[in-house]
Amino acid sequence: MPGILGELYVHMTWSIALQIVLLGFIGGILSGFIGSGGAFFMTPGMMNLGIMGPVAVASNITHKFGKAMVGSKKHGEMGNVDKKLSLFMLFTAFVGIRLAVIVMKSLFNVEGHGAGSSAAADLYISIIFAVILLFVALSMLGDIVKSKSKDEAGPSTKITDFLGKLRLHPLIYFPVADVTVSLWVILVCGLATGYLAGTIGVGGFIGVPAMIYVFGVPAAVATGSELYLAMYMGAWGALNYAFEGMVDIRCTLLLYGGSLLGIYIGAYGTKVVKEVIIRLVTSVIILLCVISRIVAIPVYLQKLGYIGMDPSYNIYFNMISKGLLFVSGSTGALLIIVFVFKAYFQRRKLEASLAMEVPASA
């Protein structure tokens, strides 16, 4: 649909292109580390660069396919992928994505193909983003705070235990995750994961917590399994949005330019960083990204005429939103890189020490 493309596409400059590559790199590190797909960072990041919400979501979910394929392969080599669990969630995830595309298209067409309708879609994306991810972040932080110590901290099993007592048949056993889960619970979580992936490009922040807190899956296996699921969701989402003419292939390729390197760094980090640290880094980054998106909401409200704010203030709100987003993502990525390199040098030091002991014992 050329009309939509003409209205929504941003003029691509070298500055914007490099920033999208940086978004991809940071998002790739976060994706490999916490299994989110990194879209919680990249989707609002592209919106801050002037790319309209529908195109940011569509381009990011298209990018999600290839990156998830690389990430799931890496996690699969480490034994972190339960393919059976992912495939059981897949059917309703497809339904959720299709529903999300229908809603997005209807919002975009509310007032034609002008700025007003784009602002409606952007506002919708931002509100869904803020509400859902705020709940996820606060839940994870609360769980960590309640733990007695960092060494003993583990994910809450209250939901898992409650559902276990209900025993909603049929129950299915998943060998890699070593959990037994009701089929109905799996289908509902798959639908929610797909709908959010299609709405804001973020499926992992429902899929991963659902696997950990609802199914009782270990964090590393939840990360790998969600990436395996995301590979298929990304392909299906790309097809649905491409038929609506909302995928900007330039943005997708630029995201790939940074993320395919970053995801390897993040995936390695899951093997050398304590699970409680993974959850702490995840929750703090999400919280900062949520605040970043909340700051941008007045801009869309002003464009839609819901508030009488001076339009000249929009640039300041956007700058604050963009700054918060990059600080959160960059800090998180830097921490992960530090953990990875620290573990790498410790391993090299241990190998060197063992090599020196062999001749002495001989």
Mean pLDDT of the chain: 78
Dihedral sign computed on CA atoms, order 268, 274, 279, 284: negative
Stretch (H or E) spanning 157: none
The helix/strand/coil state of 174 is: strand
Residue type, 236: W
Stretch (H or E) spanning 180: strand 179-182
Confidence of residue 6 (pLDDT cuts 50, 70, 90): very low
Q: Are 222 and 35 in contact (CB under 8 A)?
A: yes
Residues 83 and 78: their CA atoms lie apart, in Å, by 13
79: Cβ–Cβ under 8 A, 6 or more apart, which residues?
176
pLDDT tens digit string along 28-77? 787 777 655 567 788 888 888 888 888 888 888 888 777 777 777 777 77
The domain segmentation of the chain, as residue ranges, is 2-361
Residues 186 and 195: their CA atoms lie apart, in Å, by 14
The helix/strand/coil state of 181 is: strand
15: Cβ–Cβ under 8 A, 6 or more apart, which residues?
none
Q: Which residue, 46, 273, 330, 246, is CA-closest to 150?
A: 273
Q: Are 43 and 210 in contact (CB under 8 A)?
A: no
pTM for this predicted structure: 0.75
Dihedral sign computed on CA atoms, order 36, 161, 163, 156: negative
pLDDT (average), residues 162-175: 75
pLDDT tens digit string along 321-346? 988 888 888 887 787 788 777 777 87
Rg (CA), the chain: 21
